[in-house]
A and B are shown apart, each in its own frame.
Chain A
Amino acid sequence: MISNLTSSERQYALLIAVAVALAGLAMAALGRSDTLGVHGVIVMLFAGVVIYLIMSSLYGPEPTEDRAVSYYDDPIKVGIVLSMAWAVFGMFMGVWVAAQLAWPDLAFDAAWSSFGRLRPTHTSGVIFGFGGNALIATSFHVVQRTSRARLAGQISPWFVLLGFNLFCVLAISGYLLGTTQSKEYAEAEWYADLWLVIVWVTYFILYIATIARRKEPHIYVANWYFMAFILVVAILHIVNNLALPVSWGHAKSYTIWPGVQDAMVQWWYGHNAVAFFLTAGFLGMLYYYLPVRAQRPIFSYRLSILSFWGITFFYMWAGSHHLHYTALPHWVQTLGMTFSVMLLVPSWASAGNALLTLNGAWHRVRDDATLRFMMAAVVFYGLSTFEGSFMAIRPVNSLSHYTDWTVGHVHAGALGWVALITFGSVYTLVPALWKRERMYSAALVEVHFWLAIAGTLIYVFAMWNSGIIQGLMWRTYTEEGALAYSFVDSLVAMYPYYIARAFGGLLFLLGAVVGCYNIWMTVRSAPLAVRETDAPVVPAAVPGE
C-alpha cells in the first residue's frame, strides 16, 4: 500500500502523522488531569502506528507502475475491511444494550458498561464506523469509475479514511470514559469535532477535485448524492457542534446554542444526519451498485432529478418534527410536519426508480442474493420513508413519540435500508476490488441475506408492537379520568418484546459475522478473474458478477 506512494509522498505523509502525534502530545500534556489526556495518548498511539508503517518502507523502491492509468483502490480495500470490523463491533454493542434492557444486570455494575455509555458506542459504531467507512470506501470507488478518473490525490484519500477512523476511536473511547456532549449522534467532544472538520473538508475537496477531473461529460446521479452527503454533513456537523470548551485542558464543552434553539439545531442536525448521511450517501451507493449488479439501465433519469432535488430540499426543513408538543413554537412544528409529508413523494420516487430499474432483471433478484440484498434494501427504504412521514404528522406523533415505535422506525431504516444496501454493495465491490471472479461462497451470501432479513423483521415487528402498546398504555384513562397504567406497568409489558428485539439483533450480527468470513475467504482464496480493463479514461467493463 505504501509502496504505491512516491518517496516524497511518503515524507509528506510522515510529516502529517508526526504533526498529528504532536497534537496528541499537546492534548496529553494540557489535559493530563482529564479524559482529554487519555485521548491525547490515544491520538499519539494512533499516529505512532501510522508513523511506524510509513517508516518501515520510507526508503523502499519508488512505485513502478504508472499510477495515472489505474484507479486508486488501496484506500477502498482498507475502508471496506474497517467498515466490516466496525459493523461487528457496533452490532455487538447493539445486541448488548438491547439485552441490557431486558436483563439490566448485564451492565455488571460498572460505570463504563452502563446503558448510557454503551448506547452511543452502538449508534456511533454502526452509523459512523460501519456506515461512514462504507460510504467513504464506496464513494471513492464510484467516483473513480463513473468519472473514469483516478482520485485527485495520493495521500488525501488515506488522510480522509484514517482521520475519520481516528475520529470514531476518539468518539467511542470517550463515551466509555464518560465524555459526551449529550447531543444524540453528535456526542463526541469539541476536539474530536474539530478534527472531523479538517478530515471532512479534505474529503469534500478531494471529491470535488476528482469530479473535476472526470472524463465523462455528465456527472452521474450517484455522485450528486455523494456530494450532497459530504457537503451537507460538513455544514450540519459544524453548526451543531459550535461549542466553547471549559479550557484547553478539558474535554468538556458547552454548546453556544441556548435552550430551545439548541434543541432545534440538534434535531435539524439529527434529522439531516439521517437524511444526508444515512439516506443521500447510501442512495449514492444504490445508484451505482444496483444497476451494475442488475445489468440494467436506470428506469428514469427524470425521476432521478425529481427525487434528488426533492430529497435535498425538503429534508432540510423536516427536523422540527422531532420536537412536536415541546417548548418549540407551534409554527415551527407545523413546518416540520408539512415538509416531512411533502418529502414522501421524492423519497418514494427514488425507491420506485430503483425497483423499476429491476424490471427485466427479476430473475437475477431471485437467483442472486447480492442483488436481492439491494432489492430488499429499497423496499425497506420505501417502508421507512413512508413511516417517517406518517410519524411526523403531529397527532400520529403524539402516540409514537418517546416510544419504541421510534426505535423500530429507525431500525427499519438502519438495518433494512442502510445495512442491506451496504452488504449488497460490499458483495458487489469486494470481488471487483480484489479482482476475483466472484465471492468465495454464494451460499454464505444467501445465509447472510436470510439472517439479515429475519433479524430485521423480528426487530422491527417487536418494536412496532412494543411501541404502540407503550403509546396506548401511556394515554389510557380510567373511567374516573385518571391514568390507567403507571410507567412501570408499560415496562413490564415491554419485557417480551425486548427479548425478541435482542434476538433479532443477534441474528443480524451473526449475518455480519458470516459476511466477514466470506469476504476474508474471498480475498484469500476465491479464483482470480480475468477482468476486462478497469482503468481510467479507457472505457471500463462492468465489474461485479
Chain B
Amino acid sequence: MEVSERDPATGRETTGHEWNGIKELDTPVPRGVLMFLIVTHIWALAWWFLVPAWPLGTTYTKGLLGVDQQTTVEARVIEGQRERAAWTARLESEPYDAIMADEALMQTVRHTGRQLFGDNCAACHGRDGKGGANYPDLTDDDWLWGGGPQLIEQTMRVGINTVHPESRVGQMPAFGRDDMLDRNQVRDVAAYVYSLTNPDTSTPQNLDRINAGKEVFVTTCAACHGENAQGNREVGAPNLTDAYWVYGGSMDTIIASIHGGRQGHMPTWDERLTTAEIRTLALFVHDLGTRQP
C-alpha cells in the first residue's frame, strides 16, 4: 500500500501515505526552521535565568537581575514623583496670587491642568470647559458658587449636594410638582424670569402676567435668587438676569425648572485627587474663564 513516488514539481519523494487523493512529501525540516527554533529557545532560556520565571513550591526562581514588577513599579512611581516635585510642592503650598504671578509656573498649570481636566472634569463640563445642557460653562464670567481659585478649590473639594460634611448645598424646590405654586403661578413667574433677559417680551399684552409673576417671585424666589434676581453665591442660586443658563433659558426650560426644581450634583474630589492636583485644576479652571476677583 505504502509506495512512495517522486513528485515531478519538486523532485521530492512522497511518504507513500494517501488520503482521499492527498499525499505528503517527505521533505526534511529545513535547516533554517531548526536554527530559528533554537534561537527562540535560547532567548527563552536567557529570560528564565535573568528574571523571575519558574515556580519552586511556595517560591520561584528570582532571576539573576533581581527584578520584580512590584518593586520596579514602586521605584518608577517614586522617581516620577521626584521629577514633578519641583512644581507640585509649590502648587501645594504657595498662595494663589504668587503662583499666578509666576508665568512659568502658570504654563505648567496649563499643561498639566489640561490633562487633569480631560480625565476628571470633561465628562460633564466638556473638553473645552464650555459645559453643555445641564452642566455649567466654566469659561464665562458667571459663577454659581463663586469664581477665583480659592472658591473653585472649595467647590471641587466638597462638591455640590454630596455626602461630604461640608458639601455645598444648593437645591431648588419643585415648586409646581410639590404644589407650592399652581400652574398659573408657575407660568407667571416663568414669564417674569424670561422677561428679565428678554425685555422685548414686556409688551402690554404680557405685562399683567409679568407683573403677577414678579409678585410671586418676590415672595417665593427672592429668598435665594435675590429681590433683583441677581442670584446668591452663598446658596449657589444663579443670576437670572444675565445671558448664562445652566439648564437653558428658553420659556419651556424655565417652566420645567420651576415645576420640577433643580438639584445639580458635582462630586467631591477631596479623596480622589491630591492637593496639588486640585489646586492645579482650580487655577486651570480659573484661567479658562474671565478672571474673577
Residue ranges of A at the interface with B (Cβ–Cβ < 8 Å):
145-148, 216-218, 220-221, 288, 291-292, 296-304, 306, 310, 325, 329-331, 333-335, 337-339, 341-342, 344-346, 348-349, 352, 356, 359-360, 478, 480-489, 492, 540-542
Residue of B nearest to A481 (CB): B83
Give min CB distance, B51 to chain A, whole Å.
5
> How far does the alpha carbon of A478 sit from the alpha carbon of B33 in the complex, in Å?
45
Contact with A along B108-150 (1 / 0, CB 8 A): 1001101111110011000100000000000000000000000
Tell me, yes or no, whether B177 is within 8 Å of chain A by CB. no
Number of interface residues of B (CB under 8 A): 58
Give min CB distance, B128 to chain A, whole Å.
11
Given A345-B40, A486-B114, A487-B119, A220–B22 Cβ distance below 8 Å? yes
> How far does the alpha carbon of A359 sit from the alpha carbon of B2 in the complex, in Å?
24
Whether the pair B29, A303 counts as a contact (CB closer than 8 A) is: yes
Whether the pair B29, A480 counts as a contact (CB closer than 8 A) is: no
Which chain B residues lie closer than 8 Å to A221 at the CB level? Answer: 24
Given A333-B69, A335-B53, A302–B21 Cβ distance below 8 Å? no
Whether the pair A299, B27 counts as a contact (CB closer than 8 A) is: yes
Whether the pair A145, B20 counts as a contact (CB closer than 8 A) is: yes
Give min CB distance, A276 to chain B, whole Å.
21
In-complex Cβ contact of B60 among A331, A348, A359, A492 (8 A): A331
- Excluding A335-B54, A345-B40, 7 further A-B contacts by CB distance (< 8 Å) are A302-B29, A303-B27, A334-B63, A344-B40, A345-B33, A480-B84, A483-B115
Whether the pair A296, B53 counts as a contact (CB closer than 8 A) is: no
Whether the pair A338, B9 counts as a contact (CB closer than 8 A) is: no
Whether the pair A299, B20 counts as a contact (CB closer than 8 A) is: no
Which chain A residues lie closer than 8 Å to B40 at the CB level? Answer: 341-342, 344-345
Highest count of chain B CB atoms <10 Å: which of A330, A335, A339, A540: A330
> How far does the alpha carbon of A98 sit from the alpha carbon of B100 in the complex, in Å?
45
Tell me, yes or no, whether B61 is within 8 Å of chain A by CB. yes
In-complex Cβ contact of B118 among A220, A291, A306, A486 (8 A): A486
Given A338-B44, A349-B33, A146–B19 Cβ distance below 8 Å? yes
Between-chain CB contacts (< 8 Å), 8 pairs = A299-B10, A333-B69, A360-B7, A478-B112, A481-B83, A486-B122, A488-B119, A540-B20
Given A292-B21, A352-B33, A540-B21, A331–B54 Cβ distance below 8 Å? yes
Which chain B residues lie closer than 8 Å to A484 at the CB level? Answer: 111, 115
Whether the pair A300, B27 counts as a contact (CB closer than 8 A) is: yes
Whether the pair A297, B87 counts as a contact (CB closer than 8 A) is: no
Whether the pair B43, A338 counts as a contact (CB closer than 8 A) is: yes
Whether the pair A298, B25 counts as a contact (CB closer than 8 A) is: yes
> How far does the alpha carbon of A260 sit from the alpha carbon of B204 in the complex, in Å?
74
The 9 closest A-B pairs by CB, nearest first: A486-B118, A360-B9, A338-B44, A300-B27, A481-B83, A331-B52, A297-B23, A482-B112, A542-B21
> How far does the alpha carbon of A542 sit from the alpha carbon of B44 in the complex, in Å?
44
Whether the pair B115, A330 counts as a contact (CB closer than 8 A) is: no
Whether the pair A482, B111 counts as a contact (CB closer than 8 A) is: yes
Whether the pair A216, B69 counts as a contact (CB closer than 8 A) is: no
> How far does the alpha carbon of A147 sit from the alpha carbon of B17 in the complex, in Å?
12
Residue of A nearest to B21 (CB): A542
Given A480-B111, A482-B111, A148–B36 Cβ distance below 8 Å? no
> How far does the alpha carbon of A137 sit from the alpha carbon of B17 in the complex, in Å?
25
> How far does the alpha carbon of A303 sit from the alpha carbon of B15 in the complex, in Å?
13
Whether the pair A300, B118 counts as a contact (CB closer than 8 A) is: no
Tell me, yes or no, whether B203 is within 8 Å of chain A by CB. no
Which chain B residues lie closer than 8 Å to A348 at the CB level? Answer: 33, 36
Whether the pair A298, B84 counts as a contact (CB closer than 8 A) is: no
Whether the pair A306, B33 counts as a contact (CB closer than 8 A) is: yes
Which chain B residues lie closer than 8 Å to A145 at the CB level? Answer: 19-20
Tell me, yes or no, whether B230 is within 8 Å of chain A by CB. no
Given A329-B52, A360-B10, A481-B84, A486–B115 Cβ distance below 8 Å? yes
Tell me, yes or no, whether B68 is within 8 Å of chain A by CB. yes
Which chain A residues lie closer than 8 Å to B2 at the CB level? Answer: 217
Which chain B residues lie closer than 8 Å to A302 at the CB level? Answer: 26-29
Tell me, yes or no, whether B101 is within 8 Å of chain A by CB. no
Give min CB distance, B130 to chain A, whole Å.
14
Whether the pair B52, A334 counts as a contact (CB closer than 8 A) is: yes
> How far does the alpha carbon of A325 sit from the alpha carbon of B76 in the complex, in Å?
13
> How far does the alpha carbon of A122 sit from the alpha carbon of B84 in the complex, in Å?
44
Whether the pair B21, A541 counts as a contact (CB closer than 8 A) is: yes
Which chain B residues lie closer than 8 Å to A304 at the CB level? Answer: 24
Which chain B residues lie closer than 8 Å to A338 at the CB level? Answer: 43-44, 47-48, 53
Which chain B residues lie closer than 8 Å to A540 at the CB level? Answer: 20-21
Whether the pair A345, B24 counts as a contact (CB closer than 8 A) is: no
Given A334-B48, A338-B53, A345-B36, A217–B21 Cβ distance below 8 Å? no
Whether the pair B115, A482 counts as a contact (CB closer than 8 A) is: yes
Tell me, yes or no, whether B3 is within 8 Å of chain A by CB. no
Whether the pair B69, A330 counts as a contact (CB closer than 8 A) is: yes
Highest count of chain B CB atoms <10 Å: which of A291, A302, A349, A356: A302
Tell me, yes or no, whether B57 is within 8 Å of chain A by CB. no
Given A342-B41, A345-B36, A478-B112, A486–B21 Cβ distance below 8 Å? no
Tell me, yes or no, whether B1 is within 8 Å of chain A by CB. yes
Tell me, yes or no, whether B78 is within 8 Å of chain A by CB. no
> How far does the alpha carbon of A484 sit from the alpha carbon of B111 in the complex, in Å?
7
